[in-house]
Copies of this chain bind each other. A is one copy, B any other.
């Protein structure tokens, strides 16, 4: 195990093999054949880390699948603690007595394959070679993630989810669930997401990707045995994402033109003096570097860019026509990364196809991250939806 791993583990609590397990459970696809992925590669005996909250009822009708976004994990709810440096990422939405009430619903949240929070990803040891996957980790798609989650559903004995819910990349998975396994989902709620990633979204992803690639410590993706990983490149990538996750208005309100303390010039007129927005972005870069693996960042980013509900299905309308369950499309007007015309497209195409669909707008200055931060608005909309369907 390289020092990169040790550092991640020791300083941050990012989950790595050997780390405290916390509330995680593990499902290994121990089939007699490898798990083939859409790109043509395969994974041998991959593992999905997942957590469950609440109790599956006798007729297995209260199961809700929640799917995380880019750098999320299985810890959707619950306190910080062993193996979980922070409280669940949607704790204010999913909790005992909460909007998604775990006294009522059996909530399951898996970490995606390709990730670095317990599920098999580029940092994992490839059983075929005994070495970290690194650059040899195959490209995985949203559909691969969903197929692996279907195997997990079999393992858990859940034939049909009462609802499949997710924001951003989680919403892409929710949509693919409804298209790939219409008989296994009673409802879906895709939030702040899209049917197909756009050129601009791919463009943002591309720039972060080359920033990581050009970091001399990236070493083509095989840095696990080296003294350092591509921290600078990953920080640049994350800072780009962080701007797109929020909004112009929010930054103006929160930071304006305030200068950071500790500058060398009273008006910040030295090249490396900083405004507050700059130290905020630096901080977000550093935090991600300390808790996330660069290769997983690349793998998951690529999966999002390859997301296209229409691929191989005779176009968008035909793909959407496969969705048979009630759908709640939740959009965010201030979202600059997944502009709300994309959620409205989900609504419109489903409505045109005669599928039951509702649209809710989240009123927020937070932009894309409003799906995480506006827990009352999002939670209320979701609770009303899953209680009704």
Determine whether A269 belongs to the interface, using a CB cutoff of 8 Å to chain B.
yes
Mark the stretch among A59-67, A101-109, A210-218 that contacts chain B: A210-218
Bound CA span A323–B216, Å: 50
A229 to chain B, nearest CB (A): 14
| Nearest-CB residue, chain B, relative to A246 | B200
Determine whether A69 belongs to the interface, using a CB cutoff of 8 Å to chain B.
no
Stoichiometry, as copies per complex, reads 2
A194 to chain B, nearest CB (A): 11
| Nearest-CB residue, chain B, relative to A255 | B199
Do A214 and B243 have beta carbons less than 8 Å apart?
Answer: no
In the assembled complex, which residues on chain B have CB atoms less than 8 Å from the CB atom of A256? 198-199
- Partner of A243 from B200, B268, B276 at Cβ < 8 Å: B200
Mark the stretch among A168-176, A301-309, A325-333 that contacts chain B: A301-309
Bound CA span A120–B270, Å: 18
Could you tell me how many residues of chain A have their Cβ less than 8 Å away from some Cβ of chain B?
61
The 0/1 profile, CB within 8 Å of B marked 1, for residues 264-291 of chain A is 0101111110111110011000000000
Do A274 and B210 have beta carbons less than 8 Å apart?
Answer: no
| Nearest-CB residue, chain B, relative to A204 | B243
- Partner of A207 from B213, B243, B247 at Cβ < 8 Å: B243
In the assembled complex, which residues on chain B have CB atoms less than 8 Å from the CB atom of A281? 203, 206-207
Do B210 and A269 have beta carbons less than 8 Å apart?
Answer: no
Bound CA span A111–B198, Å: 37
Do B232 and A214 have beta carbons less than 8 Å apart?
Answer: yes
Bound CA span A298–B272, Å: 10
User: In chain A, residues 237-260, which have Cβ atoms closer than 8 Å to a Cβ of chain B?
Assistant: 239-240, 243, 247-248, 251-252, 254-257
Determine whether A87 belongs to the interface, using a CB cutoff of 8 Å to chain B.
no
Determine whether A381 belongs to the interface, using a CB cutoff of 8 Å to chain B.
no
Candidate in A206, A215, A282 with the most chain B CB atoms within 10 angstroms: A206
Do A39 and B270 have beta carbons less than 8 Å apart?
Answer: yes
A226 to chain B, nearest CB (A): 15
| Nearest-CB residue, chain B, relative to A240 | B207
| Nearest-CB residue, chain B, relative to A310 | B257
Do B202 and A278 have beta carbons less than 8 Å apart?
Answer: yes
A306 to chain B, nearest CB (A): 6
Q: A200-B248, A256-B199, A270-B39 are in contact. Are A207 and B277 (CB under 8 A)?
A: no
Bound CA span A233–B320, Å: 41
Determine whether A149 belongs to the interface, using a CB cutoff of 8 Å to chain B.
no
Do A269 and B236 have beta carbons less than 8 Å apart?
Answer: no
A144 to chain B, nearest CB (A): 10
Q: A141-B269, A268-B306, A275-B202 are in contact. Are A210 and B196 (CB under 8 A)?
A: no
In the assembled complex, which residues on chain B have CB atoms less than 8 Å from the CB atom of A39? 265, 269-270
| Nearest-CB residue, chain B, relative to A276 | B199
In the assembled complex, which residues on chain B have CB atoms less than 8 Å from the CB atom of A202? 257, 275, 277-278
A138 to chain B, nearest CB (A): 9
Determine whether A354 belongs to the interface, using a CB cutoff of 8 Å to chain B.
no
| Nearest-CB residue, chain B, relative to A336 | B336
Determine whether A40 belongs to the interface, using a CB cutoff of 8 Å to chain B.
yes
Determine whether A139 belongs to the interface, using a CB cutoff of 8 Å to chain B.
yes
Do B257 and A197 have beta carbons less than 8 Å apart?
Answer: yes
Do A40 and B139 have beta carbons less than 8 Å apart?
Answer: no
Determine whether A311 belongs to the interface, using a CB cutoff of 8 Å to chain B.
yes
Q: A197-B257, A198-B248 are in contact. Are A306 and B269 (CB under 8 A)?
A: yes
Besides A199-B277, A203-B239, A271-B298, 9 new A-B residue pairs in contact (Cβ under 8 A), listed by A number: A39-B270, A198-B251, A198-B257, A203-B278, A203-B281, A207-B243, A207-B281, A214-B215, A240-B240
Give 10 CB contacts A-B under 8 Å: A135-B271, A198-B257, A199-B252, A199-B277, A200-B248, A203-B239, A240-B240, A267-B306, A271-B298, A336-B336
